Structure 1
């Protein structure tokens, strides 16, 4: 399998001591490219630096997660716009709304979200806005309301780490948005409903991600003692996803990779990376 992890938080400090080994284990598991999530003023530049250090293999997003929305000042907006100038930055985000934890006040979340949607609209290529990497948790109505204010001005959209309801899923699919599935699918406590819902996602709207170091799939056996998720477990997620969709694993893998490459406008991976993935 040649896989693309569309959401890996490789700038997280838990990877500082073995990031190179983590990347090699991912290659060995068939992960040929990764999109490194930028989710704050601190980590978005770090995501770009990682992508520039691994051209053609790592790419970056640049944005401010709703947890950090209180830091979204005019200066922060200028910084995010500057990051979008770099070709290694393939999407705006992670941004959106999170009313589950409310780490930032909701008005601040909505303002930061709106400002980042404006960035995506402003950085259009051939009349198509830059891809958006979005977060939504327990805020669906307001999320859809803010997105509606930008109708006709945005490019491709992926709602990453989807954990929501059938109604939410079909609201996204009705707008031709993409959906990112993580190891949440493997959580028998919280993710069982996803086992049925993923059957409804068209192949050209479905992408896969680990959201590492978070959301270690609970069906990985034996579970690592440190409980840290890694991009190498993307292969496990695609196997679970294929089973739930009633597809051959190779089909699910190939479709998700094709969809991710088209969505983020990624080049074909280098031959050396493909050789590593082939073992």
Structure 2
């Protein structure tokens, strides 16, 4: 099976000691390509550097996560636009709203999100989106740009049936992570993933976060890695009533089309 991890935070400092080995370990189990998440002013340029180091294997996004929204100044906007001009940078984001943690004030989150949506309309690259506990504002802000945006994926979907249907009604893609494997918080996803159309499904680890809780044995350092993507795939395929090969083929085809790989 050929897999693509659409959300790997490979610039995270937990990978500094063995990043090359992490990539090699994932490739050894069929994860052939990686979309390296750019989620801050610091890490978006680092994602591009990694994509240049691994041409055709790693690609990058460039954006500012709502946790870092206060750093989204005019200068930051110019920096993101410059990064997005590079062909290795395949999406705008990670951007969106997060009212669960509120690490940045909500007005700052909305301002940063609006600026990145405007960038997406002008640059024409897909959107890599984040939404948590901010569904109404998220939809309203996206609606303000209706008809001017390209494809969008709601990364690391963890929401309700209503939220899922709202996204699918707008033809957005859905990224599924190891949250599916969390019996405490992700049990509802076991049924919801059946409703994701075959042409809207993508998979990701969000490494080093969201280590699947059903892994056996569990890694001692609790660090999630792209090499665990096949584990997520197998559980996702089972929940959808598909073979792993079928789910892998669908997700990989969707990912290549979405990011123009």
Shorter-chain TM range is: over 0.9
1:152 matched to which residue of 2?
A: 147
CA RMSD of aligned residues (A): 0.3
- State the alpha-carbon separation in 1 of the partners of residues 244 and 47 from structure 2: 30
- State the alpha-carbon separation in 2 of the partners of residues 132 and 161 from structure 1: 13
1:275 matched to which residue of 2?
A: none
SS at match of 2:199: helix
1:242 matched to which residue of 2?
A: 237
2:70 matched to which residue of 1?
A: 70
- State the alpha-carbon separation in 2 of the partners of residues 95 and 58 from structure 1: 20
Taking the TM superposition and a 5 Å limit, the aligned residue runs for 1:117-266 are: 117-124=117-124, 130-266=125-261
TM value normalised by structure 2: 1.00
Once the two structures are TM-superposed, the CA of residue 203 in structure 1 deviates from its matched residue by 1.1
- State the alpha-carbon separation in 1 of the partners of residues 179 and 238 from structure 2: 15
CA offset digits 1:56-88 (Å, max 9, x no partner): 000000000000000000000000000001000
Once the two structures are TM-superposed, the CA of residue 255 in structure 1 deviates from its matched residue by 0.5
Once the two structures are TM-superposed, the CA of residue 112 in structure 1 deviates from its matched residue by 0.2
- State the alpha-carbon separation in 2 of the partners of residues 256 and 203 from structure 1: 8
- State the alpha-carbon separation in 1 of the partners of residues 219 and 54 from structure 2: 27
SS at match of 1:27: helix
- State the alpha-carbon separation in 2 of the partners of residues 76 and 20 from structure 1: 29
1:9 matched to which residue of 2?
A: 9
1:36 matched to which residue of 2?
A: 36
SS at match of 2:46: helix
2:57 matched to which residue of 1?
A: 57
SS at match of 2:24: helix
1:84 matched to which residue of 2?
A: 84
- 4+ long deviations beyond 2 Å: none
SS at match of 1:133: strand
Which one scores higher on RCO, CA 8 angstroms, separation ≥ 6?
Answer: 1
Once the two structures are TM-superposed, the CA of residue 43 in structure 1 deviates from its matched residue by 0.1
- State the alpha-carbon separation in 1 of the partners of residues 198 and 9 from structure 2: 25
CA offset digits 1:66-119 (Å, max 9, x no partner): 000000000000000000010000000000000000000000000000000011
CA offset digits 1:108-154 (Å, max 9, x no partner): 00000000001110012xxxxx1000000000000000000000000
